[in-house]
């Protein structure tokens, strides 16, 4: 029987090539405009959870879910959860003239 270690043998540190000069180093491509990587702290802080948005707006989380359902608050579904951009929360909090 072939095991995991047979398919993926461990590499010794001496087997991994190390660039000698900065010119030989591979630069990572930016995945988002402006050179911000999606896994960076800056990117993660752009979106908030429903609980964080509710705390920020000082309302019950169920109110935030209702606002999302009525399309009063733009949100992105991630799996079974919602993520809300900070600008969308700020737009709801901004006073409007009637």
Per-residue model confidence as pLDDT tens digits over 35-59: 555 555 555 678 999 999 999 999 9
Any domain includes 47? yes
Q: What pTM does this model have?
A: 0.55
Q: What does the pLDDT read at residue 95? A: 87
Q: Are strands 47-48 and 81-85 parallel, antiparallel or unpaired?
A: antiparallel
Residue 69 lies in a domain: yes
- Residue 26 belongs to a domain: no
Residue 94's domain is classified under what CATH number?
Answer: 1.10.10
Question: Considering the domain boundaries, does residue 7 fall inside one?
Answer: no
pLDDT of residue 88: 94
What does the alpha-carbon distance between residue 66 and residue 60 come to, in Å, rounded to a whole number? 10
Could you list the residue range(s) of the whole structural domain that residue 43 is in? 36-98
**For residue 86, pLDDT beyond 90:** yes
Comparing 77 with 26, the larger pLDDT belongs to 77
Whether residue 96 lies inside any domain: the answer is yes
Number of domains in the chain: 1
CB of 85 within 8 A of CB of 56? no
Give pLDDT, residue 87: 92
In a domain, 15, yes or no: no
Q: How confident is the model at residue 82 (pLDDT cuts 50, 70, 90)?
A: very high
In a domain, 29, yes or no: no
On whether residue 57 sits in a domain, the answer given is yes
Which residue would you say has higher pLDDT here, 97 or 12?
Answer: 97
Alpha carbon of 91 to those of 1, 12, 26, 87, 88: distances in Å? 60, 53, 40, 6, 5
């Amino acid at each position: 029987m072939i095991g995991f270690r047979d398919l993926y043998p461990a590499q010794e540190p001496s087997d991994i090539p190390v660039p000698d000069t900065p010119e030989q180093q591979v630069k990572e491509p930016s995945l988002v405009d402006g050179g911000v990587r999606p896994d960076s702290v800056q990117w993660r802080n752009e979106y908030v959870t429903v609980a964080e948005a509710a705390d920020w707006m000082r309302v019950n989380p169920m109110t935030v879910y209702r606002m999302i359902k009525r399309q009063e608050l733009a949100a992105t579904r991630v799996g079974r959860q919602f993520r809300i951009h900070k600008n969308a929360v700020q737009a709801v909090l901004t006073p409007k003239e009637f």
